[in-house]
Amino acid sequence: MTIPDHMDVIGEMAQGGQIRLSVSTVTGHLPTVDIYICGTKGTIHLFEANGEIILETGAANARRLKIVRIPKNKQGSWRVQEEFINAIRGIEAVTHTDLETGVQYMEWTDSIATALRTGRTVYLPLEAVVQS
């Protein structure tokens, strides 16, 4: 298998916070997307439940996370590929994923694949890594 049905990513962000990302299509009733971003001032939790994306936040000293309601007109969906193709066709302008962001996204994806294949930690940006 070259594309996993389930993966867990644990990372440390350049700013010092930590991230845990779980993506799965085989975990039954668990969310297909489950992202935690934890920092010194609080936590952000983004997950999928019953086809809806839920956002929770909480300060570091909070007893529990609270749901952040996002108005329907502010909610988006994954359409990176659609936007890219429409931009090439001249139907719409790129608004979210410009070339630089797309390259960073591919670098992130490649780093996960490399870590999965090698079992080693992968540091970003990739060009900053010195091979020894």
pTM of the model: 0.59
Distances (CA, A) of 129 to 106, 109, 111, 123, 124: 16, 16, 12, 7, 8
pLDDT of residue 3: 64
| pLDDT tens digit sequence for 15-42 | 887 888 777 777 776 667 788 888 889 9
* Domains of the chain, residue spans: 1-75, 77-126
Q: What is the pLDDT of residue 4?
A: 66
Say whether pLDDT at 119 is over 60.
Answer: yes
Residue 131, helix vs strand vs coil: coil
